[in-house]
Amino acid sequence: MTERTPSRRTTATAPPAFPKPGHNHARCAAEALGKAEAVCAARGTRLTEIRRQVLETVWQSHVPVGAYEILAQLNAGGGDRPPSQNSRALTARGGPPSQNSRALTARGGRHAPMAVYRALEFLMDNGLIHRLASLNAYIGCAHLGEDPHAAQFLICRRCGTTAELKSAALNRALDQAVTERGFTIDSQLVEIGGICPNCRPNHRRPKS
Amino acid sequence: MTERTPSRRTTATAPPAFPKPGHNHARCAAEALGKAEAVCAARGTRLTEIRRQVLETVWQSHVPVGAYEILAQLNAGGGDRPPSQNSRALTARGGPPSQNSRALTARGGRHAPMAVYRALEFLMDNGLIHRLASLNAYIGCAHLGEDPHAAQFLICRRCGTTAELKSAALNRALDQAVTERGFTIDSQLVEIGGICPNCRPNHRRPKS
DNA sequence: TTGTAAATGTTATAACATAACATTATACCA
DNA sequence: TGGTATAATGTTATGTTATAACATTTACAA
């Protein structure tokens, strides 16, 4: 929200790069998790096991992931962490596993959708992830630790990779266009679909 | 007077006003319907009865309307009657209440959800309405007859009124910010939430 | 230790959207 | 005029995303 004039020239030719296919993503994820812990510590909120698992799942890649996919991975034991030992709270009822097609409960698995949605809500409230309305999916925040920000997203329709933009110039243009009409901004949603540089081989990149 | 009234100030490029509470909305709707007919005639597509009904429902106001609300209005006799009813459970026609809570068929009513979604798809394909991803709702296109456009929306969180922006300056800023990153735009989604001028007499928005 | 707030579990359902196939309407032409 | 191809709509079923409501467990500190 705070627009600061850069004391140093923002390099017009070297904006933050779009995530590249071969980049060291383990490092992305590890950094994100580390920063997330710091953010939570600073805010006095608790990055519990399930929240951390969901965050890790979101950070598996730069492709947004849906809530029910997160749920499936959690219940499949996904991620590199051991599953919760809280299995005693599972179906100890002794009944046969009902194969209800709408079985939302964790009869055979572990978690119900609520668990995921609660974790997602927590992560969003703490600025650790964003929701992409055009995809009904979630992605890790690329600007952890910065002020709560209104972000823009570039979504590649080919590989799914999504980059967070956070362009001050764009925010200025937006603010001006909107204020002209007497409107006061609370929230913004900017999601741009298209082809990312990695998926467009003919694209000439100034530096690589 | 404490508030300056800029209504007299006519800038050279005066932006289109935000829809005002007391405006002659019947005229908005009538014009939209007329233009829609012209658009369909020009394109050789057919604005059938149900499509027209859905379009009329969408144009009831400048507040986006959900698909199931459209459905409910259609099945309640359409037109200008208020819905005031849950869209679910439309089955019973004098018969015993069905046990199936997911009764989506139009046994007692007229239409099933598919009918509405098909009409909405047609209307979107023909540029007559837009979908608002942040609301899962639909609104009439304010720029009928113009080229297929990527629009921006201002959504008042207080009254729900939504205005279509279509700012060239904003599109330029967007294009520049995106192209800098080597991205090629296919589609854009810009939905700005906030307080519209009609809802902001002395409003001071809290930080959230 | 124990009270309490936070977190999670559990069940159910709301809300939004589409797949798949059947039937009806429309247009166009021989 | 009637046949027939296509468009439109009807119908049934289900997929997908998200939340309400209440029960139980856990963490933490007084």
Q: How far apart are CA A133 and CA A110, in angstroms?
A: 27
CA of A54 to C1' of C7 (A): 15
Q: Does B109 have pLDDT greater than 80?
A: no
- CA A13 to C1' D18 (Å) is 42
Q: Which residue has the higher pLDDT, B145 or A173?
A: A173
Per DSSP, the residues of A116-160 read HHHHHHHHHHTTSEEEETTTTEEEE-SSTTS-----EEEEETTT-
3-state DSSP: chain A helix, strand, coil percent, rounded to 5?
A: 35, 15, 50
Residues 6+ apart with CB under 8 A from B96: none
B25-81+104-199 CATH: 1.10.10.10
The answer, yes or no, to whether residue B137 has pLDDT greater than 50, is yes
Domain range list for chain A:
25-81+108-199
Of B185, B191, B196, the CB nearest to A183: B196
Packing angle between helix B113-125 and helix B49-58, nearest 10 degrees? 80
| pLDDT value for B147 | 75
Per-residue pLDDT tens digits for B18-56: 899 999 999 999 999 999 999 999 999 999 999 999 999
* Position B66 pLDDT exceeds 80: yes
Mean pLDDT across the stretch A143-167? Answer: 89
What residue type is assigned to position A154 of the chain?
A: L
Q: What is the pLDDT of residue A114?
A: 98
The model's pLDDT over B143-173, given as tens digits with 9 standing for 90+, comes to 987 776 778 999 999 999 999 998 889 999 9
**pLDDT higher than 60, residue A137:** yes
In the three-class reduction of DSSP (H, G, I as helix; E, B as strand; rest coil), residue B6 is classed as: coil
Report the gap between the CA of B81 and the closest CA in chain A (Å).
30
CATH number 1.10.10.10 given to A25-81+108-199: yes
Question: Tokens standing for B16?
Answer: 């289109």
Residues B132, B141: Cα–Cα separation, whole Å: 11
Quick one: pLDDT at residue B2? Answer: 43
Question: Residue A129 in contact with residue A140, Cβ under 8 Å?
Answer: yes
Query: Residue A145: its pLDDT value, please?
Result: 77
Residue A146 · residue A134 · CB < 8 Å: no
List of protein residues whose beta carbon is under 7 A from strand C: A 45-46, 48-51, 84, 86, 89-91, 93, 102, 104-107, 110-115, 118-119, 122; B 46, 66-69, 86-88, 101, 104, 112-114, 117, 121, 131, 136-137
